[in-house]
């Protein structure tokens, strides 16, 4: 559904950070196929192939990701072994040992749900509201990246991604500052009417940077 010009590395880093922030065993981004009836994997982070193969293409309205897309709201499966609404993906859960997950929809600016960001766990798990809200932040940024694949290739997105990837503690705060300055500059261009932007995505990027700097909700960057 999305062209090759989408910045997949940027999106993959957001999926990775979603997993690390929730202390999940893995994470996925599924997006609609060309028919609009099924979801297929776009990014898979640290999940066994047996799980991905076992759940197969996810029909909209089924499993965890399909229900998040259909209802345009977060969906939680606390235990895939016992939840009757996850029966279509049960084989993947059994063969891989993945037991729980929660999904948030990827919603474009016009309100169209085009995919789902999910975190997965090897034990039954009930996410607290903070985990769901955090993934909704990542989902907003992913939606922006899918909808505006060429926006600011040399601007705030590159600096934001560099901050997400930075592993050197001495350089980390400098990366945060550079990214924050770039996001604020982009916001100023938008509010002045010079360059239109998705201000919601920029605000969510600032939220991520603030929480990374404070270290309250995110683990340290990993190699």
Digit-coded pLDDT (tens) for 79-112: 999 999 999 999 999 999 999 999 999 999 899 9
Mean pLDDT of the region 170-175: 86
Q: What angle do CA 167, 169, 175 make, to 5 degrees?
A: 75
In which band, very low, low, confident or very high, does the pLDDT at 214 lie, cut at 50, 70 and 90?
confident
Asked whether the predicted pLDDT for residue 196 surpasses 70, the reply is no
In which band, very low, low, confident or very high, does the pLDDT at 194 lie, cut at 50, 70 and 90?
low
Q: What is the pLDDT of residue 201?
A: 87
Q: What is the pLDDT of residue 51?
A: 98
Q: Is 29 exposed, middle or buried, given 0-12, 13-18 or 19+ CB atoms closer than 10 A? A: buried
> From CA 158, how far away is CA 154, in angstroms rounded?
6
Asked whether the predicted pLDDT for residue 4 surpasses 60, the reply is no
Q: Quick one: fold of 8-147?
A: Beta-Lactamase (3.30.450)
How does pLDDT run across 48-60, given as a tens digit for each residue?
A: 999 999 999 999 9
Percent of the chain whose pLDDT exceeds 90 = 61
Asked whether the predicted pLDDT for residue 168 surpasses 80, the reply is no
Q: What is the pLDDT of residue 162?
A: 84
In which band, very low, low, confident or very high, does the pLDDT at 1 lie, cut at 50, 70 and 90?
low
Q: Is 92 exposed, middle or buried, given 0-12, 13-18 or 19+ CB atoms closer than 10 A? A: buried
Q: Which two tokens stand for residue 14?
A: 């957001």
Q: Which two tokens stand for residue 133?
A: 């809200």
Q: What is the pLDDT of residue 154?
A: 47
Percent of the chain whose pLDDT exceeds 70 = 87
Q: What angle do CA 211, 132, 45 make, to 5 degrees?
A: 85
Q: Is the pTM of this model over 0.75?
A: yes
Q: What is the DSSP letter of 63?
A: T
> From CA 221, how far away is CA 138, in angstroms rounded?
16
Mean pLDDT of the region 159-188: 85
Place of tokens 């062209």: 3
Asked whether the predicted pLDDT for residue 219 surpasses 80, the reply is no
Asked whether the predicted pLDDT for residue 73 surpasses 50, the reply is yes
Residue 187 contacts by C-beta under 8 Å, 6 or more apart in sequence?
A: 197, 199, 202
Mean pLDDT of the region 171-177: 89
């Amino acid at each position: 559904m999305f062209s090759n010009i989408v910045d997949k590395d940027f999106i993959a880093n957001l999926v990775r950070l979603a997993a690390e922030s929730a202390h999940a065993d893995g994470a996925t981004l599924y997006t609609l196929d060309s028919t609009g009836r099924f979801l297929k994997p776009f990014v898979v982070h640290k999940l066994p192939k047996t799980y991905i193969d076992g759940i197969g293409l996810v029909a909209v309205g089924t499993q965890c990701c399909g229900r998040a897309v259909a209802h345009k709201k977060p969906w939680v499966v606390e235990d895939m072994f016992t939840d009757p609404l996850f029966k279509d993906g049960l084989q993947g859960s059994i063969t891989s040992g993945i037991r729980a997950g929660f999904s948030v929809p990827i919603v474009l600016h016009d309100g169209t749900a085009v995919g789902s960001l999910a975190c997965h766990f090897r034990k039954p798990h009930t996410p607290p509201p903070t985990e769901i809200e955090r993934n909704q932040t990542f989902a907003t940024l992913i939606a922006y990246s899918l909808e505006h694949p060429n926006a600011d290739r040399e601007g705030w997105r590159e600096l934001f991604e560099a901050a997400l990837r930075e592993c050197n503690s001495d350089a980390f705060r400098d990366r945060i500052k550079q990214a924050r300055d770039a996001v604020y500059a982009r916001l100023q261009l938008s509010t002045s009417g010079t360059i239109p932007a998705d201000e919601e995505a920029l605000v969510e990027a600032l939220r991520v940077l603030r929480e990374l700097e404070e270290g309250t909700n995110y683990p340290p960057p990993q190699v």
